[in-house]
Structure formats: structure tokens, C-alpha cells
């Protein structure tokens, strides 16, 4: 524990939703919910206006729509969120070489290591300056906590929300924590909180009064000892600059259970390609390919195969995922699929035999396979994947965008060319997901408010502009095209007629 509050915790306020409000002027001050839009979608972030209706992250999207029927429901735009996050993290690294990111919108900073603060006054001035710099660079607000430990800095930033700063003076920790709910402490979730409540413990002060021995008896030695130390405000963990990724994975929850085996294979191939793109973006390769299948009855099967060396070759990952799928019974239907790569390395060791492992028995020649079947109890839930891909299908396209015909062609790959059909297939209808970026040849940049029955409604506005006009087009209008997101600040303003 430090004698000065020189550990800073930054948490951006309702990050995804705030980015959407800044990007779309007509949504400022309104309820915005970001997440998977299909019937099995989950809320990723809700704006503070939506939270007043009881909407919160991890809530099923159907429940959110019932609570807040007039909210704006948008797909997540992770590429834009990462761009904004990079700007924020760069500002943090100007303060100190010791920055520990926890997610796109959250990080610890050791101010002493950067020489920018050694006492309470310096820490407060640095925190206020940081908040102003973030506002100037992104147009967004962040909440700052300052304390002598990581745990207390995180508690402080949570108490400061939204758009505030709270500094906990060393020596006042127990007094501040005592009246707070036990759920305030990191790691105390609903199950542990309910277990403690049944024992008559609802506040951090009551947790400290219970004593270490009683807590160990109630929740086990490791958890009990940890709870007692947190209740006393004790935490000596250092800020760690680099947190090595353990795995890279993506997954999709489908609006309707998939039964077509060809369709399922096509989805696995598509997920494998997405996973490799993220793997390469992170600068890693990996040895272990993981397939996750959640079936119609919520049972979750995870299978993995370890290659002889790390790879970032999409063909190798696709073939390994396809081999793993062959051993999974999907006859009852599949509600979720995921592909991941673990055993990460920062280099690639070319393995000429990696693609021939299917001919080897399990565990032969340095490879191994493991099977695990779990039961889960959350509808549409996810597990063990990056938060960036936990929102299910972005387009709400009824269980995936790959058609059976496309899946067949992709599944054949190097094995041959599909025979052309006697009659050309009609072009698939273009899908426009609510919240996605578009550009019109006449009216310029805008975003999709909604689509259906052959029409798409677009609001033409951009960051920094006044709320824009709404126009409706045919979904196949040749002058309307998908577009990349515009930066929140410093992009200039275009205007259409």
C-alpha cells in the first residue's frame, strides 16, 4: 500500500454507447443500447439515459426492448471503438510507462513511475488534466479514481461515475469502504453476494467485522482470505505494463438454431477466418485450435487440437476447425459456434505437416486433442471469448450471413470447383444493420436507422454536425454503399444537398 494516491484508474463512461452518441448527433441525450440485435442478442453497453429504464450490460436484448421500447438499438462498431481506445491509451502512456489496460475503455496507470505525481495534490491535478485531454481528443468523458492501491482506485472511479474524479486519501480506506455493498469489491458477483447476504453480511464493514476465520469457513481459504484483505482495503498488486494475451477467439450466437450440416461447416470456416484476422492484428500466432459448439439444449462442447508449431495461416486454422467439427453431433441444432486459437507466440513456425494431422491418431506426432462438454444455464450466453465479440450476430440476419450455396463453395475449397447451376442464382438481398455506416453518392455520409420490406432508412449526419435529415431508399439502391466510420474529432464536416 502506498502512502500517496498515485495509482490512477480510468474508466470511460458507457463507452460504446457514448461513442455512438458522439458519432450520431441525433442520439445525444437519448437512450442508446449497443449489442446483438437478434432475438438472442445481448446488451454490450447502455447509455445512462437507457439505464434509467433498468437496461444494463449483459441483459438479453429482448428484455431491454421491453424495458425501453423507444431506445435506439445499434450494432457495435468495434473498429471505431478501437480507434478511440488507441487515442485514450496514448494519452495514458504520456503520463507513465506503466499502463495496464484491462479492456478498450479501462486501465490502471502508475503515476509515480512516470514522475508526474508523488502526492495527493499532484495526483488530483494529473487526473483532472487527463479528463480534460480525453474530452478534447475524443469528445467523450471518463471517470478517474486515485488511491494508494489498484483495488481502491477502481472503487473510486466507479463511485465517481459519470464524468467525475474521486481521490481516496491513504488512511481513510476502511471508513470509506465500510458502508458500501459487498458487491463493490472486485470479484464479488451475484452468487457470492447472495451467499454473504444469507449469512447476514451485506456491507464491506460487516465483512471486516466477520473476521478472516469466519470468511474462510464460509467461502473457502483462498477466497475468504482475499475477501478479508479487500474489506480492510489492503492490496499491494503493482501496475503491470504488459498483460500477455492467452488466446484469441470469436463466436456467434444465431437467431435460429442451425441444423444444416453444410451451413454449420460454412459458419465454422467463416469464424476461423475472422479469428485469424484478429490473431494477425494482435501480432501473434498460436498452436492450439479450439472449436466451441453450444447446442439446442444449452450444452456446450469444446474441442481442441494442438499443432506441432504456432501458425497464423488461415488454411491451417480452417482445416483444424473442420476436423474438430467432424467429431461433434449437431443433429439437434446449434445455437452458438466459436473458433479460437490459444498457446500464443509472437512468431510463426512454418509446419509443413500441420495440415496432415487429420491422418494421425489422437496424440500422435506431437499433437493432442481434448474434448470437454459443459452445461450452461444462460440463454445466448458466451464464455471464454474476447469482449469485443460477445454480442452475437451484428446484422441480425436470422442466424448468419453465409448462405448454404456459399458455404458449399467454401467447403469444397481446394478439393474442386462446384458445378455451375443451369440457372443463375439471384443476387442476395443487401442487408443494412441498424447503426452501420453508409455513404450516398448524393447525400454523403450517414448511418442506418432501420431496414425492412425492401427499404432502408438512413439519417445523414456525422460527428460535429447538427442532427441530420432522414431519407428512405431501396435496399439495392446503387448510390448507397457501406462505409467506414468517421473519426469523432478532427475529420472535417461534409454536407449533402
Distance CA(344)–CA(287), nearest Å, equals 7
* Distance of alpha carbon 444 from alpha carbon 432, whole angstroms: 17
Q: In what order do the strands lie in the sheet with 72-74?
A: 43-46, 32-35, 72-74
Distance CA 451, CA 438 (A): 13
490 grid coordinates: 478532427
Residue 422, classified by CB atoms within 10 Å of its CB into exposed (0-12), middle (13-18) or buried (19+), is exposed
CA distance 6 to 145: 10
Options 106, 112, 267, 305, the catalytic residue: 106
Distance between CA 1 and CA 431 in Å, rounded?
A: 54
| 20 has catalytic annotation | no
| Catalytic residue annotation | 106
Amino acid at each position: 500500500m502506498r502512502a500517496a494516491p498515485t495509482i490512477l484508474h480510468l474508466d470511460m463512461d458507457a463507452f460504446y454507447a457514448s461513442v455512438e452518441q458522439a458519432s450520431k448527433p441525433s442520439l445525444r441525450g437519448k437512450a442508446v443500447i449497443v449489442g446483438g440485435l437478434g432475438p438472442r442478442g445481448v446488451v454490450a453497453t447502455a447509455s445512462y439515459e437507457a439505464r434509467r429504464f433498468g437496461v444494463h450490460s449483459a441483459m438479453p436484448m429482448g428484455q431491454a426492448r421491453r424495458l425501453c421500447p423507444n431506445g435506439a438499438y445499434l450494432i457495435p462498431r468495434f473498429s471505431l471503438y478501437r480507434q478511440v481506445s488507441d487515442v485514450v491509451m496514448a494519452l495514458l502512456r504520456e503520463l507513465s510507462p506503466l499502463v495496464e489496460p484491462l479492456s478498450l475503455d479501462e486501465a490502471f496507470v502508475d503515476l509515480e513511475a512516470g514522475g508526474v505525481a508523488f502526492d495527493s495534490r499532484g495526483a488530483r491535478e494529473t487526473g483532472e488534466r487527463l479528463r480534460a485531454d480525453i474530452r478534447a481528443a475524443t469528445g467523450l468523458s471518463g471517470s478517474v479514481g486515485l488511491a494508494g492501491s489498484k483495488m481502491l482506485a477502481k472503487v473510486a472511479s466507479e463511485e465517481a461515475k459519470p464524468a467525475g474524479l474521486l481521490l481516496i486519501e491513504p488512511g481513510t480506506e476502511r471508513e470509506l469502504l465500510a458502508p458500501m455493498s459487498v458487491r463493490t469489491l472486485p470479484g464479488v458477483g451475484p452468487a457470492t453476494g447472495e451467499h454473504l447476504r444469507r449469512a447476514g453480511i451485506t456491507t464491506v464493514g460487516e465483512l471486516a467485522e466477520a473476521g478472516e476465520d469466519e470468511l474462510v469457513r464460509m467461502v473457502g481459504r483462498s477466497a475468504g482470505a482475499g475477501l478479508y484483505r479487500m474489506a480492510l482495503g489492503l492490496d499491494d498488486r503493482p501496475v503491470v505494463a504488459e498483460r500477455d494475451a492467452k488466446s484469441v477467439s470469436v463466436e456467434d450466437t444465431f437467431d435460429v438454431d442451425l441444423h444444416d450440416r453444410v451451413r454449420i461447416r460454412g459458419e465454422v470456416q467463416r469464424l476461423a477466418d475472422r479469428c485469424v484476422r484478429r490473431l494477425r492484428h494482435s501480432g501473434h500466432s498460436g498452436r492450439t485450435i479450439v472449436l466451441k459448439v453450444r447446442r439446442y439444449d444449452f450444452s456446450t462442447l469444446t474441442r481442441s487440437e494442438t499443432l506441432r508449431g504456432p501458425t497464423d495461416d488461415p488454411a491451417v486454422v480452417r482445416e483444424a476447425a473442420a476436423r474438430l467439427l467432424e467429431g461433434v453431433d449437431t443433429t439437434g441444432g446449434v445455437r452458438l459456434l466459436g473458433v479460437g486459437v490459444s498457446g500464443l507466440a509472437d512468431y510463426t513456425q512454418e509446419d509443413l505437416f500441420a495440415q496432415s494431422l487429420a491422418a494421425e491418431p489422437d496424440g500422435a506426432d506431437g499433437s493432442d486433442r481434448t474434448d470437454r462438454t459443459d452445461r450452461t444455464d444462460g440463454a445466448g450466453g458466451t464464455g471464454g471469448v474476447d469482449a469485443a465479440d460477445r454480442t452475437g450476430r451484428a446484422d441480425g440476419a436470422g442466424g448468419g450471413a453465409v448462405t448454404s450455396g456459399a458455404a458449399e463453395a467454401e467447403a469444397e475449397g481446394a478439393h474442386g470447383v462446384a458445378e455451375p447451376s443451369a440457372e443463375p442464382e439471384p443476387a442476395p438481398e443487401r442487408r443494412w444493420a441498424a447503426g452501420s455506416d453508409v455513404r450516398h453518392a448524393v447525400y454523403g455520409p450517414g448511418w442506418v436507422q432501420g431496414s425492412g420490406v425492401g427499404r432502408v432508412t438512413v439519417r445523414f449526419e456525422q460527428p460535429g454536425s447538427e442532427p441530420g435529415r432522414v431519407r428512405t431508399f431501396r435496399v439495392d439502391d446503387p448510390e448507397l454503399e457501406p462505409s467506414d466510420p468517421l473519426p469523432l474529432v478532427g475529420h472535417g464536416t461534409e454536407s449533402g444537398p
